[in-house]
Structure formats: C-alpha cells, structure tokens
Amino acid sequence: MSKISRRGFITAGVTATAGVSAVAVAAKVAGHYGLVPPNCHGVYGAGETLTYATQRVLTRHTTAREFPRGDISQKPFANSVDPLPGNFKTLQQGGFKDWRLVVDGLAAKPASFSVEDLKSFPTDTQITEIACEEGWSYIAEWKGVKLSYLLDRVAARPEVRYVAYKSIQPDWTETIDMADASHPQTLVAYGMNDAELPVPFGGPLRMRVPRQLGYKSVKYITHIILADNLKQFDTSEGGYQWYAGM
C-alpha cells in the first residue's frame, strides 16, 4: 500500500493484550506450522504472527458477514486517492474499452482480460462492509467475478501460494495467500450498488477482499501475478499489517 506510517498500531494492542511471552510462544508454534506472515519481525511481528496464525487456524473457511439490501449505506465514503496517472485518464476517455487485466506468473494459460470479458464470466454479488484502518466503514453491494474463477481459467499451477495484484497507481500492490485468493467471497469487482463501479470507488476494476481491511481492496487493478513466494513484492504495507483480517 502507499506510504503512510502508523507501524504497530494494531499489533501493539494485540501484543499488550496477549502478553509478550505468550505471544513469543505462539510465534514459535506458528513458525513450526508455517503460519508466520511474510513481513513478521520483532515483538510487533510476534503479535502479527499470533493474529495471522489464529485467523488461519480458526477462520480459514469462514465468510465475511453479508448484509440485507436495506443495510446498504446511503452515502458510501470513497477514500481519497493520489492523482490518477495520465494513462488512466486516456483509458477513461475511451470508456475503459482498452482497460486490460493481465493475469500471469505461475499460470499454464496466462491471459489478458477486458472489462467486457470479465462481465461475460459467471457473475457474483455480495453485500459486505469495507472498513478502513482509519476507523470508518460502509456497506455496499459489489458485483464481479470470483478471483478463484480467474485462477482456474488461467490454469494456476499447483505451487501457487500467493496472489499479488497491482493498481495502475504505481504505489499500490497488495498480496494475499491462497486462503483468501481462492475464497468464494474474494471478487474482481466491476459493479457497485447496481451500477458500474464508479471511479472514486476503484472503477473500472477493483479487488474486493471482504475478510480483510480496506487497503487490501486495491482499486484500478491492471495486473494479477501468481507466485510461490513473496520475495519479489513489497510486503511492508506502509507500516500496516500484511495480514489485515477482520
């Protein structure tokens, strides 16, 4: 995510609550079972490990809460974004007809999809809440195609463990593990509240990861990369947690 720094805000709380020694033990156990998130280090890191490991063991198969239509927020709040680059504006003027989502990396059949292509695939909708780490949230209906469908479509190789996705905004790349990438609620969204996804909310395409905090739901996505490790990606998250479960 972009370069805002509030390192340790959440993990400091977790660490304080759990007690440092208990957390350190949990971190050791988590390391043994492959449950250490990739940017974990130090005492804060141990706190993050505890959160991630707990979530992964207890909630791997759970779903984010879905809401009735009447709960959709009347005034959803679009968080501000850095100025969109010139190539975005050119694509926007063309009604996003030339927008492409490339899906490659560890895939037997890498592909490049237009928004129209994505709309021709099986459609999924969900009414979920997006929550920013800064404290606000809103509920909306998102429409799109399941990320898992795209993973199948490009024939993701069995060694894939992480999925990265990049925005046309150069600072915005995020990564998730397969528990979230193949989760039925993780969508590549092109619609919101029965309309095209508006630009302030990430149109024409955004990732929706409703089991994690808002910054994992990257807007204006152009590239999805399937990988077996995270070394080539920035997992510093601008000081926030890599695993932002909610």
- Residues near ligand MTE, by CB under 6 A: 2, 77-79, 81, 130, 132, 167, 169, 172, 201, 214-215, 217-220
Identify which of residues 99 and 172 has a Cβ nearer to ligand MTE in the complex. Answer: 172
Instruction: Choose the one of Mo ion, ligand MTE, none that binds residue 201, judging by a C-beta under 5 to 8 angstroms depending on kind.
Output: ligand MTE
Give me the residue whose beta carbon is nearest to ligand MTE.
Answer: 214
Alpha-carbon span 154 to 145, nearest angstrom: 14
Q: How many other β-carbons are positioned within 10 Å of the β-carbon of residue 59?
A: 12
Q: What residues line the site for Mo ion (CB under 5 A)? A: 132, 214-215
Instruction: Choose the one of ligand MTE, Mo ion, none that binds residue 219, judging by a C-beta under 5 to 8 angstroms depending on kind.
Output: ligand MTE
Instruction: Choose the one of ligand MTE, Mo ion, none that binds residue 57, judging by a C-beta under 5 to 8 angstroms depending on kind.
Output: none
What backbone phi and psi angles, to 5 degrees, belong to 125? -130, 155
- Least Å distance, CB 240 to Mo ion, is 9
- Least Å distance, CB 240 to ligand MTE, is 9
Alpha-carbon span 39 to 243, nearest angstrom: 9
- Least Å distance, CB 172 to ligand MTE, is 4
Alpha-carbon span 178 to 56, nearest angstrom: 11
Query: What residues contact 174, with CB distance under 8 A and at least 6 apart?
Result: 1, 164, 165, 207, 215, 216, 218
